Structure 1
């Protein structure tokens, strides 16, 4: 099985007068950063710590990455660079293949060490293994650390030593384990002023990277992430999380997912704030809110855990019977789903939120994923790819895990789940507030009409809104039949 190194500080050596590169990827912050903290600790007062970010053309040109995500990332990098300069150092930028680029830079500036935080994605694991080998070949020492989660994916296992495949027992084990404390935010980086050969390259613009962005972005960077975290945990947000999180018209979630994706907030800092919020508990409802929030953090790490041990999930279904499922894959219906023109208001509202903001409420993610796979009977991988294109918080582990859960192809012990879009709307958007926010053309309809899942045809025509492109009851019966056929064959 693959191995991930620990964060142990054993066998530290002081690299006095030497140069350490901190290679940032999904950790665009100064605070609570194990790689930066350890680099500073190890080089001593006479050493030099320099940050590095590499723009990888294989990622930028993968056909999935869109300008909105790159634009947000540039905002994060701009603040990170300012923080490095404030501390007396520099954040360098390179464009090119990461392994070759970091090897060339380390050699050019005579770096003695390279530090980075680990990832669980198959592409990243392969890249980091190759980079480590290339750097070691030229005498550079390489150290990596756990940062993406509170607990390393290979540090938690069943009693028989196997990886978990079901969330609930994973949660029980995960929540019982002690969690690490945040790493101290640095106050100063020394020695850079005496170094004259540093190749300072300006941060490229969105246009220079050949992207455009036409949506309004949330505020990027570490300061914005910490402010969101403070607001959520110091107020009633986390205490009301269990009762409010499923209602997309309400501000009932932390909206930290994009910052967790880019690492502008440390996961240990998030956990610390959640624990501190327990002092605010005055009722069982308050306590349930914090517990539910912790469970969502555990879901995030469960998906990291399974992707780490089952990298084949990236390219196909976990359940063998779903690997050759006879999807309809109707391109016209898929386009209607993407554009929010299915005739099902809760589905269309959610897709328009995604297209216009780069984010979608989690309850709605489950609704639209169920609709694509169970009503339109379209391959979940089409939806997974579209989400990765549009979502600012698009993350392989969480996105893949969520889509496989919705498609009945993943590790859910009760896989055959079908959401009725009308009943979901009635339960979670009972006044139609969310629907009307994103479908203003439906203003004037009664709440009953909005939530019925069957708006009268004359009302649809009057508002240039489509009739339902499928019949939910017929399609769910069709899916069930196909699913049972796959199980028995």
Structure 2
């Protein structure tokens, strides 16, 4: 008798190093590869035009890869994953459903609904917790808690944790014959403007980028990853978010060197945030460590920040990169988030929501918890530190090349004035069509510190 297993894809849209898919292939004669367009996700703020475009690219790429291995291709359904999976179990007689563990509140609810729905069918739900994370939440914990709240001790334990081997892609994936369904157009999933310079989504593009970066950029990564204009970052975060690239494979291929170790540390931060979210799903919307903040409601300042018109070129350049590319350099994320939450003293949730709309890699764990780290409501051991954008510009864009790339009004300004255009002669400033600073940095910093001291009780 021919056996069937369902491989339910979520944030693991790849063939290579996919324990979930490989386990399904080893468990049964036939594998039904399934992706469900979850109505709860489609109706949420975490599906944006940019991510819908990247997702559709990834689904098409996965479909072609499956066909190349003897499958009929990716089966697509739309609705409640529990309902759609149970229906396919009944149709195909599948004995197992394989699912990559994930840890957001939504993912945990989905897993519970799936388990309940499958209990009535007799099929087994098999979870795989080393597909999305290198070291899954709960694998390392402190002696007296269910999760780490400080990165450094977590990182030490994370490095000592044994890791699984990198897995080959299945060579053959015969599948049962069912109605396949269609991968929809991105605009039908989420309307609205797309960033004009989005990268191609999918495993093929992700692996090409990963291998090219590893060949060329590892040696200089440790020294230059904060260089805004040089942009020595991997730009793999969208591919990691959608699972087009395996974090375990990336860590394995990074090797042992100063650059490789620095890259691996960044991947460890990703797992650190996942274990925070797994233990405290509510931190997606609530302070991890509250300080009694009474955030300012300043729509004019918030609009200037969103539009990259704050009068601080390094902030504005990063915000414009976000809108143009659906991505922002990590140093830019730190600068812009600090400016919003501490210099302007606007609620981190407002910034996180805006980033989530634009970022291709805007997942719940990294986006929300990195925002909390910068806002001082998360795990930063120095919660009241304020990043001065002028000092940041001096360090990480010393010649102003990053600013000139993204702020065309300042393209002709040479020298240090590109970061402080208000120091230019009035007749020159008048021709730039660039705003005056919306806040005095010293006043903004003092306002924040006084608010924190008054509210932290």
Establish whether TM, by shorter chain, passes 0.5.
Answer: yes
Q: Take 1:224 and 1:478, find their aligned partners in 2: how far apart are those partners?
A: 46
Q: In the alignment, which of 303, 307, 331 is matched to residue 273 of structure 2?
A: 303
Query: Does the aligned pair in 2 maintain the 1:206–1:212 contact within 8 Å?
Result: no
The answer to whether residue 207 in structure 2 is matched with residue 223 in structure 1 is no
The answer to whether residue 444 in structure 2 is matched with residue 461 in structure 1 is no
The answer to whether residue 450 in structure 2 is matched with residue 485 in structure 1 is no
Q: How far does the alpha carbon of each residue in 1:60-82 deviate from its partner, in whole angstroms, 9 at most, with x for none? A: 22134221110111000001001
Query: Does the aligned pair in 2 maintain the 1:422–1:453 contact within 8 Å?
Result: no
Secondary structure of the equivalent of 1:207?
Answer: helix
Q: Take 2:421 and 2:271, find their aligned partners in 1: how far apart are those partners?
A: 35
The residue number in structure 1 matching 2:234 is 254
Query: Does the aligned pair in 2 maintain the 1:374–1:418 contact within 8 Å?
Result: yes
Question: In the TM superposition, what is the alpha-carbon distance from 1:417 to its structure 2 partner?
Answer: 1.1
Query: Does the aligned pair in 1 maintain the 2:341–2:348 contact within 8 Å?
Result: yes
The residue number in structure 2 matching 1:164 is 148
Question: In the TM superposition, what is the alpha-carbon distance from 1:251 to its structure 2 partner?
Answer: 2.9
Secondary structure of the equivalent of 2:168?
Answer: coil
Q: In the alignment, which of 3, 7, 21 is matched to residue 6 of structure 2?
A: 21
Q: Take 1:455 and 1:397, find their aligned partners in 2: how far apart are those partners?
A: 41
Query: Does the aligned pair in 2 maintain the 1:455–1:467 contact within 8 Å?
Result: no
The residue number in structure 1 matching 2:172 is 188
Q: How far does the alpha carbon of each residue in 1:124-171 deviate from its partner, in whole angstroms, 9 at most, with x for none? A: 111111111101211111101011111111110113354211000001
Secondary structure of the equivalent of 1:320?
Answer: coil
The residue number in structure 1 matching 2:287 is 317
Q: How far does the alpha carbon of each residue in 1:256-290 deviate from its partner, in whole angstroms, 9 at most, with x for none? A: 10000000011221122012xx3xxxxxxxx3222
Secondary structure of the equivalent of 2:419?
Answer: helix
Q: Which runs of 5+ in 1 are unaligned?
A: 1-15, 279-286
Question: In the TM superposition, what is the alpha-carbon distance from 1:307 to its structure 2 partner?
Answer: 0.9
Q: Take 2:371 and 2:128, find their aligned partners in 1: how far apart are those partners?
A: 29
Secondary structure of the equivalent of 1:144?
Answer: strand
Residues 454 and 407 of structure 1: CA distance in aligned 2, closer, same or farther (over 3 Å)? farther
RMSD: 1.5
TM-score under structure 1 normalisation? Answer: 0.90
Secondary structure of the equivalent of 2:75?
Answer: strand
Query: Does the aligned pair in 2 maintain the 1:88–1:189 contact within 8 Å?
Result: yes
Question: In the TM superposition, what is the alpha-carbon distance from 1:455 to its structure 2 partner?
Answer: 4.5
Q: Number of paired residues?
A: 453
The answer to whether residue 200 in structure 2 is matched with residue 200 in structure 1 is no
Q: Take 1:248 and 1:35, find their aligned partners in 2: how far apart are those partners?
A: 37
Q: Take 2:446 and 2:193, find their aligned partners in 1: how far apart are those partners?
A: 41
How does 1:12-51 map onto structure 2 within 5 Å? Answer: 17-43=2-28, 47-51=29-33
Q: Which runs of 5+ in 2 are unaligned?
A: none
The residue number in structure 1 matching 2:76 is 93
Query: Does the aligned pair in 1 maintain the 2:312–2:420 contact within 8 Å?
Result: no
